[in-house]
Amino acid sequence: MKMKWLPLSKPCLIICILTLLISGNALICSRALAHDLWINLSKHHVVTGDTVKIYLGWGHDYPFSDLLPIERLKSLEIITPSGKREVLKPEKCIPGTPVTTLETGTYLVSAVMKPGYYTKTVGGHTFKSKRESKDVISSLWYEKFAKAVFSSDTALGSAYKKVLGHTIEIVPVEDPTTLRQNDTLHVKVLFRGKPLPKTFVYGSYLGFPGLHAYAYATRTNAEGIAGIRIIAPGIWRLMVQHHEMPRNPDLCDIMKYTAFLTFGTK
């Protein structure tokens, strides 16, 4: 399988930014609601019996920027190496949500934010639709999803590639916990359960210089698959976005879907 990859050079960065913008209205809204949702883990490689703490990343700066109000979270789940799916009770960012690893193998953590509208008005902003707001400048519908993978003792099972049914989803083809520097991780991007072709996948690792930049960018092929070369060891975070025009333009100007995947290499 031959994949194209692009170091995130200045020309590529310009292209990536342009592909994220559908219109001037989308730009205004994206800046106003630029907060992203991702998952931070206290450890990515543990011994069975250890406790892993789950932290919800929220904001602009990786790995930590702001606190996500718990009431805005729709669900927090974990899939064990044997395939058991458990609903977790989210705790506040500090001290995090603890999970004790009782099985050996690879785990998948999932967080879903409650979807909704974000509308910028002359007087500020509101979490209401354009129809419900006054003096509207721009409005969007957003859906945000996050996943993280970690292993206990060794990589076992197929939880890492379980399709969870998110509107937009990054599904690893290989177990990310087995990767080392210079390996390539292939991921499939799904939108409403179907492969999403020709869409950008962005990746960066903890410690990469540039808070608002990505170290790597590539695009999915016709089957929705992209290859991300692990150019540095450590904790990685992948991101994909997709935009749609609304069926009812009275409610919003654009519909924006975002997914993140976090994992640690060896």
Confidence of residue 244 (pLDDT cuts 50, 70, 90): very high
pLDDT confidence of residue 92 = 59
- pLDDT greater than 50 at residue 177: yes
User: How many domains does the structure of the chain reveal?
Assistant: 1
Mean pLDDT of 149-177: 97
Out of 32-46, 130-144, 171-185, least confident range: 32-46
Residue 258: how many CB atoms within 10 A of its CB?
A: 20
Q: What is the pTM of this model?
A: 0.85
Q: Which domain holds residue 112?
A: 5-264
Q: What is the secondary structure of 111-146 as a DSSP string? A: EEEPPEEEEEETTEEESS-TTT-SSEEEEEEEEEEE
Nearest Cα to Cα of residue 140 among 244, 257, 252:
252
Instruction: Please state, in angstroms and rounded to a whole number, the distance separating the CA atoms of residues 14 and 241.
Output: 16
| pLDDT tens-digit readout, 95-110 | 689 999 999 999 999 9
**Mean pLDDT estimate for the chain:** 86
Instruction: Please state, in angstroms and rounded to a whole number, the distance separating the CA atoms of residues 137 and 129.
Output: 12
Confidence of residue 94 (pLDDT cuts 50, 70, 90): low
